[in-house]
């Protein structure tokens, strides 16, 4: 199978150099690697152009224009610019953040999974982050896929697009894939290493407020949003800001996602009877025998 990689970057000079070493060492290299600079003010663009020297499969693109109005929008716009810059149509497209490092056989194993599973639409490896000086696996719920190293079968990407230009885009596309019959999920024995903790760039209460607003946009159940905020507040009190952000968006009648099938699927997953299973998955424990399975999609 042929694949291409798109890496949106903004002020990622050191990270991009490390990722470049990983990409050049891949046992199966991509047909194209598009690095999309999104307004860097450090040496990121120089580092990208240095990587492309001597490697015709590495291409650098810059994104200009007005600042994106919503959290999450810049990275989606950069990814879309990378898609437009592709010279060919690969079977698999990978959105790969610059703050990632990979083993040399990462993409060989990834492509093998796509070849073996014809209905696999969106996938990623298992994410490891540094905790107390040790690389520790982080966990997700259900069939969620990590946004930092996210691979799409091209047919699936075409069906779930255009991607939402806001925070929550990587939830909406997964659910759209599910309701269209595609499989999504983590490949357990395929690690990748995330050198910046999820949400670290946005940081503080800003990220939690954006999550609350995006949860309203996606039609989350109010009860689920409140419980999620309380659960995350145990380690970060700023998570409570999701609640006023959600309520504020509701009060002002902010726009909502115009995809009823996605909203129905999300709200089905958020029913109270599923929360214990989801909490166990998030903590790294498999569902207990006899536990409720993932909800069906109507």
Mind listing the pLDDT tens digit for each residue in 107-162? 999 999 999 999 999 999 999 998 888 999 987 766 678 889 999 999 999 999 99
Q: Examine residue 293 and state whether it is found in any structural domain, yes or no.
A: no
Same domain, 269 and 189: no
Q: Examine residue 287 and state whether it is found in any structural domain, yes or no.
A: no
Q: Examine residue 41 and state whether it is found in any structural domain, yes or no.
A: yes
Give the phi and the psi of residue 252 in degrees, each rounded to 5: -90, 5
Q: For 117, which DSSP code?
A: -
Half-sphere exposure of 133 (CA within 13 A, CB side): 0
Mind listing the pLDDT tens digit for each residue in 1-18? 999 999 999 999 999 999
Q: Examine residue 240 and state whether it is found in any structural domain, yes or no.
A: yes
Same domain, 165 and 185: yes
Q: Examine residue 295 and state whether it is found in any structural domain, yes or no.
A: no
Q: Is 258 exposed, middle or buried (0-12, 13-18, 19+ CB in 10 A)?
A: exposed
Same domain, 19 and 125: yes
Q: Three-state SS for 61?
A: strand
Same domain, 188 and 211: no
Same domain, 181 and 227: no
Q: Examine residue 114 and state whether it is found in any structural domain, yes or no.
A: yes
- High-pLDDT (> 90) share of the chain, %: 72
CATH of the domain at 36: 3.90.550.10
- Asked whether the predicted pLDDT for residue 291 surpasses 70, the reply is no
Mind listing the pLDDT tens digit for each residue in 188-242? 999 999 997 655 455 568 889 999 999 999 999 999 999 989 988 998 999 999 9
From 194, 217, 239, the end of a domain falls on 194
- Asked whether the predicted pLDDT for residue 78 surpasses 80, the reply is yes
Give how many domains the chain has, as a whole number.
Answer: 2
Alpha-carbon torsion (24, 26, 27, 28), positive or negative: negative
Mind listing the pLDDT tens digit for each residue in 40-66? 999 999 999 999 998 999 999 999 755
- Find, among 22, 28, 2, 29, the residue nearest to 194 by Cα: 22
User: Which range, of 63-67, 74-78, 184-188, 216-220, averages the lowest pLDDT?
Assistant: 63-67
Same domain, 184 and 248: no
d(CA 137, CA 140): 10
Q: Which structural domain, as residue segments, surrounds residue 109?
A: 3-194
Same domain, 130 and 238: no
What pLDDT does residue 197 have? 67
Alpha-carbon distances of 270 from 34, 119, 147, 176, 182, rounded to whole Å: 37, 25, 21, 16, 20
Mind listing the pLDDT tens digit for each residue in 263-287? 999 998 888 655 565 555 445 444 4
Q: How confident is the model at residue 288 (pLDDT cuts 50, 70, 90)?
A: very low
Same domain, 213 and 87: no
What pLDDT does residue 296 have? 32
Same domain, 147 and 101: yes
Q: Three-state SS for 138?
A: coil
Q: Three-state SS for 184?
A: strand
User: Which range, of 168-177, 197-206, 252-261, averages the lowest pLDDT?
Assistant: 197-206
Same domain, 101 and 220: no
């Amino acid at each position: 199978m042929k694949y291409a990689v798109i890496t949106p970057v903004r002020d990622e000079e050191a990270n991009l150099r490390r990722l470049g070493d990983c990409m050049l060492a891949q046992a199966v290299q991509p047909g194209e690697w598009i690095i999309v600079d999104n307004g860097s003010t450090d040496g990121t663009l120089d580092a990208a152009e240095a990587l492309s020297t001597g490697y015709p499969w590495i291409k650098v693109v810059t994104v200009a224009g007005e600042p994106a109005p919503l959290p999450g929008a810049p990275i989606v716009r950069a990814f879309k610019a990378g898609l437009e810059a592709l010279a060919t149509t690969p079977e698999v497209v990978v959105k790969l953040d610059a703050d990632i490092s990979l083993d040399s056989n990462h993409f060989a194993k990834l492509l093998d999974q796509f070849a073996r599973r014809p209905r696999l639409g969106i996938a990623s490896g298992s994410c490891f982050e540094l905790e107390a000086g040790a690389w520790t696996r982080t966990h997700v719920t259900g069939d969620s896929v990590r946004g930092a190293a996210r691979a799409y079968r091209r047919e699936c990407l075409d069906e779930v697009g255009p991607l939402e230009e806001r925070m929550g885009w990587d939830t909406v596309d997964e659910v759209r894939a599910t309701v269209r019959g595609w499989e999504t999920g983590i490949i357990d024995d395929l690690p990748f290493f995330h050198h910046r903790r999820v949400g670290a760039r946005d940081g503080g209460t800003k990220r939690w407020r954006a999550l609350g607003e995006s949860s309203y946009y996606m039609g989350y159940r109010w009860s689920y949003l409140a419980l999620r905020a309380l659960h995350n507040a145990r380690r970060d009190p700023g998570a409570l800001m999701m609640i006023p952000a959600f309520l504020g968006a509701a009060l002002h009648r902010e726009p909502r996602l115009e995809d009823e099938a996605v909203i129905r699927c999300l709200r089905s997953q958020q029913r109270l009877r599923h929360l214990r299973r989801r909490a166990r998955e998030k903590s790294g424990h498999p569902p207990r025998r006899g536990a409720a399975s993932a909800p069906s999609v109507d």
